[in-house]
Amino acid sequence: MNTDLIVPIIITLIGASTPILIAALGELVVEKSGVLNLGVEGMMLIGAVIAFAVTFTTGNPWLGILLAAVAGAASSMIFAFLTLSLSANQVATGLALTIFGTGFSALFGQAYTGRPIDIFRSVFPEALATHPLWRLVFGHSPLVYFSLFLVFAVWWFLKKTRAGLILRAVGENDLSAHSIGYSVIGVRYAAVAFGGAMAGIAGSCFPLLLTPQWAERLTAGRGWIALALVVFAAWRPFRLLGGAYLFGLVMTIELYTKASGSTGGIPSEFWAALPYLATIAVLVLISLRRSGSSAAPACLGKPFLPTT
């Protein structure tokens, strides 16, 4: 393989991994607080359609990303109110949020189906962004650099800050955190809002980074992969980075295999299903070794029921 082929493959791999990584990092923070939000796919779809509509209308991708984050956070508040304030079942509510996001994006996006926008390209000088080798460093969308920064930011927040310690305490033992004066519900509301904002930004990656047009269910189930990836990474940000790029590699293999037409006699549907088959395989391996589950926050998915 020559450089002319390897470099585009690596760039495609990084781009395919970026929305999964951003969404998974947001969900990691949510789950560290003790909340399980299965609505990631729905929030990503809401973010995707808002980002597309705003960018198509204004021509400003930065505004599209910002409003995608706001839309994702706003939709996550529906989940937060039902589960945290009304103690609704988190699994059922998360699934309902995904259904809502799927329906909302399909309805809102009808007017934009098939309409193109410009991809959110590198902000570096064109000489660097298009150089045969330097574009590996400078040729990416700002969303890619944001995802890498977010890995370090989430790690630093959870490990090195007082607020991160409080959030982890709430996720491990909510009653103890409540007894020493911390607002368990308040911390969890903030975590869910952050996760929703990240899901919205992750959704914006699809029209702005990967596919510069709107189509129904544009995220194609990547939110579910992000959820599985959090478990696969044992709730650790840097493992999440490696896992996201591993799944990105699987997706890149699928894309290049289908584009080249060399499917080896294997039906194209198999290659399309390959990322999801990989997700199932990973979850099976985790279940067999039973080490990933021990890293889960102790209060994950459990409603907060204070005794006083």
> Is 305 domain-assigned?
no
How many structural domains comprise the chain? 1
Other CB atoms within 10 Å distance of the CB of residue 211: 16
CATH number, position 24: 1.10.3470
303 within some domain: no
pLDDT tens per residue across span 235-278: 999 999 998 998 888 878 777 776 666 555 666 667 677 777 77
In a domain, 301, yes or no: no
Residue 170 half-sphere exposure, CB side, CA atoms within 13 Å? 29
Q: Tell me what pLDDT residue 292 has.
A: 46
Amino acid code (one letter) for 283: L
**207 lies in some domain:** yes
| Distance between CA atoms of residues 57 and 172, nearest Å | 45
Residue 108, domain member (yes or no): yes
Residue 256: domain span:
3-295
Taking the C-alpha atoms of residue 26 and residue 11, their distance in angstroms, rounded to an integer, is: 23
Q: What is the pLDDT of residue 289?
A: 60
Q: How much is the pTM?
A: 0.92
Question: Which positions of the chain have pLDDT values less than 70?
Answer: 1-4, 258-269, 271, 286-294, 307-308
Whether 21 is covered by a domain: the verdict is yes
Contact 67, 46 (CB under 8 A): no
Residue 275 in tokens:
């990322």
